[in-house]
Structure 1
Amino acid sequence: MLYHVRMDVHPPVDHRSVDFEQLKVEEKRIAQELQRDGKWLHLWRIAGHYANVSIFDVADHDELHRILTSLPLFPFMSIDVTPLAQHPSSLR
């Protein structure tokens, strides 16, 4: 199943309470691993925002939920998920 996912990151006000830079390093590692595995198909930065738009290809809602909640930055994100379906006018 394909999903359009927007993730907006809201860094903690008190950076001393968490090693936010280390979380970003781990987030990048996991995102790249998921891309290599074919789960995270596309990843685009939204210009002017600490946010991204991504396309995931996973088995179901539960797998997507597991992936998103396992991301190191998940506690600092607001996430909007839209399931996608084939459009009848699409050439693909």
Structure 2
Amino acid sequence: MLFKVEMTVNIPASLPAEQAEAIKAREKAYSQRLQREGKWLHIWRVVGQYANVSIFDVADNQELHTLLTELPLYPYMAITVQPLCAHPSAI
């Protein structure tokens, strides 16, 4: 199943810089692993924001939920999810 996922990150200023950098490093490693596995197909930065738009290809809603909640930055994210299906005009 394909899903469009929009993620906006809001790390609190009170979080120590070293801790924030460690979380970001884990986030990068985890997201790149999911990309290599073919589950995280695309990721685009939203210009001027600490946000992205991504496309996931996973078995079902539960798998997506699990992958998203395991993101190290998950506690600091606002996430919206939209399921996708093929468009009849697509070639």
Q: TM-score range by the shorter chain?
A: over 0.9
- Counterpart of 1:87 in structure 2 is 87
Give, in angstroms, the shift of residue 17 of structure 1: 8.9
The 10-residue stretch of structure 1 (13-22 or 59-68) with the greater mean CA deviation from structure 2: 13-22
Q: CA deviation at 1:12?
A: 1.3
CA RMSD of aligned residues (A): 1.3
Q: Which runs of 5+ in 2 are unaligned?
A: none
Q: What TM-score, normalized by structure 2, do the two folds share? A: 0.96
Displaced runs of 4 or more, over 4 A: none
SS state of the match for residue 15, structure 1? coil
- In 2: Cα distance, 1:17 partner to 1:24 partner: 10
Pair 1:67 & 2:67 matched: yes
TM-score for both structures, normalised by structure 1 = 0.95
Please give the secondary structure, in 2, of the residue aligned with 1:19: helix
Q: Which runs of 5+ in 1 are unaligned?
A: none
Percent of matched pairs sharing the same residue: 55
- Count residues in correspondence: 91
Residues 22-78 of structure 1 deviation map (CA, whole Å, 9 limit, x = unaligned):
000000000000000000000100000000000000000000000000000000000
Q: Using the alignment, how far apart are the partners of 2:65 and 2:15 within structure 1?
A: 26
Q: Given residue 3 of structure 2, which amino acid in structure 1 is its aligned partner?
A: Y
Secondary structure (helix, strand or coil) at the match of 1:25 reads helix
Give the CA deviation at 1:13. Answer: 2.5
